[in-house]
Amino acid sequence: MSAVTRLGILISGRGSNFLAIAESIREGRLKGVEIAVVISNVPDAAGLEKARALGIPTAVFDSKGRKRAEHDADVAACLKEQKVDLICLAGYMRLLSPQFVAAFPNRILNIHPSLLPAFPGLEAQEQAFAYGVKVAGCTVHFVDEELDHGAIVLQRAIPVLEEDDPHMLTMRILAEEHKAYPEAIAMVVSGEYEIRGRRFVKRSS
């Protein structure tokens, strides 16, 4: 990667993870990184306004009614034009085409609100709560062709409390996400790791 790693952040909604990454950069906790562009597939995603307010370039590629591969090709072209080194999915509610994944090998991260491989897919926090797990959390992982599946960079666990309800649990997991994502990005940007099979292993110096 170049001296400064350029992030492309893909969102569909609120954008709180994007904001947490932006804050980490602004506060100097996430070094050697800049956000090149925030891309949304939903034109009125709230996260877009937040990006504009911070003066971060945004792009919208409405995915409604479009073929996946064609939509993804537009997104990929934008990311390449913006010279993006690392793509961060942050609440991007759309499956990626195999062509898109292949175009950025080990260069796409996602955050998922469960301890994978438990509870992939939608409403992971509600799934975990309903299952009655005692420990929940979040996972930052590389993206491969399968949903919520690639090599795990980092996980954070929290206890499920007696007084939790699904909303409270979701909010406490989200607070962990906001710490975990910048931390995982820093680990990847450092380049000090190898992927052995499915295992993300830090290189000892």
Is 8 among the residues that bind ligand GRF (CB under 6 A)? no
Give the shortest CB-177-to-ligand GRF separation in angstroms: 5
Please compute, for residue 196, the number of CA atoms within 13 A of its CA located in the half-sphere on the CB side. Answer: 4
The reply to whether 112 belongs to the active site is: yes
Q: In the set 7, 8, 10, 16, which binds ligand GRF (CB under 6 A)?
A: 16
By CB under 6 A, the count of residues binding ligand GRF is: 14
Binding flag, residue 14, ligand GRF (CB under 6 A)? yes
The single residue of 71, 112, 141, 167 carrying the catalytic annotation is 112
Is position 88 an interface residue for ligand GRF (rule: CB under 6 A)? no
* Whether the Cβ atoms of residue 141 and residue 150 lie closer than 8 Å to each other: yes
Out of 36, 100, 113, 176, name the contact with ligand GRF by CB under 6 A: 113
Residue 150 within binding range of ligand GRF, rule CB under 6 A: no
Q: Which is nearer to ligand GRF, 71 or 172 (CB)?
A: 172
Residues forming the active site: 112
